[in-house]
Structure 1
């Protein structure tokens, strides 16, 4: 019997997409696996040459079922990047020696009432929260900061 094919390593380049309504209610999704971590949509590039915007569109569709190009939706590249250490329990997903990840931040404004269909292998619950409460709920500091920045990107001065 042939050995199972090895999964390719994750690339250390990812996106964070803050999905929100015009009233600044933020969609948070809870990761499966017992930790109960609440977060926005995140995910890694599939290939080094994949544009971050394409990664954002793909990850939003995979994790929430939302089409970023549907009428009333607006995906915005915030031109912000976070670089952080990969958590030790997740290092095995990356090539040997990779210890840091670069994350590009996007916002996705969706109409009120946009349906959410979770990928059950990744997330088991979702909720819409006012942006300040969403920031408080996020387990990741960079995700919380992105929620707090939301009003600046939606209503720039």
Structure 2
């Protein structure tokens, strides 16, 4: 792999949820696991918010800039070890990824358009059930904090 084709070890996690605390989960095509929207920066200068908006659009077809949706940077970051099976995507000697957590509030469940190369299906779940279904511990922890973030927003 050339240096320009390596993944940047900085990514976003976007928990998409409704006013009723239903959480959208999408199933990864390559692993079969359930998760929220995730994805790496496309360029070093891309902001966290730009990455979050782009990944939401790519993975669900939802426009985070729509006036009835609210994208919020939760100000949380996780650093985790990249699974050895995925390290080939990163530059040599890169072993950890930094993940920034966002929430995307929807007024209610909205239809989604999945990217078929990335995800095979989607489901809406009550927040506790969604957390239990997530493969990623940081994803589950973010979902478990949802009542806190909803209270902050006055939802």
Q: Could you tell me which residue of structure 1 aligns to residue 6 of structure 2?
A: 9
Q: Could you tell me which residue of structure 1 aligns to residue 22 of structure 2?
A: 25
The yes-or-no answer on 1:63 pairing with 2:59 is: yes
Deviations 1:71-117 (CA, angstroms, capped at 9, x unpaired) = 31000000000000001110000000100000000000012131100
Q: CA separation in 2, counterparts of 1:105 and 1:113? A: 21
- What is the TM-score when the length of structure 1 is the normalising length? 0.93
SS at match of 1:155: helix
CA RMSD of aligned residues (A): 1.7
Runs of 4+ in 1 over 3 A off after TM superposition: none
Q: Could you tell me which residue of structure 1 aligns to residue 143 of structure 2?
A: 147
Q: Could you tell me which residue of structure 2 aligns to residue 40 of structure 1?
A: 36
Unpaired segments ≥5 residues, structure 1: none
Q: Could you tell me which residue of structure 1 aligns to residue 118 of structure 2?
A: 122
Q: Do the aligned partners of 2:3 and 2:91 also contact (CA within 8 Å) in 1?
A: no
* Structure having the higher Rg: 1
Q: CA separation in 1, counterparts of 2:64 and 2:3? A: 32
SS at match of 2:5: coil
- What is the TM-score when the length of structure 2 is the normalising length? 0.94
Q: Could you tell me which residue of structure 1 aligns to residue 83 of structure 2?
A: 87
Unpaired segments ≥5 residues, structure 2: none
Q: CA deviation at 1:29?
A: 0.1
Q: CA deviation at 1:7?
A: 6.9
Q: CA deviation at 1:46?
A: 0.7
The yes-or-no answer on 1:137 pairing with 2:133 is: yes
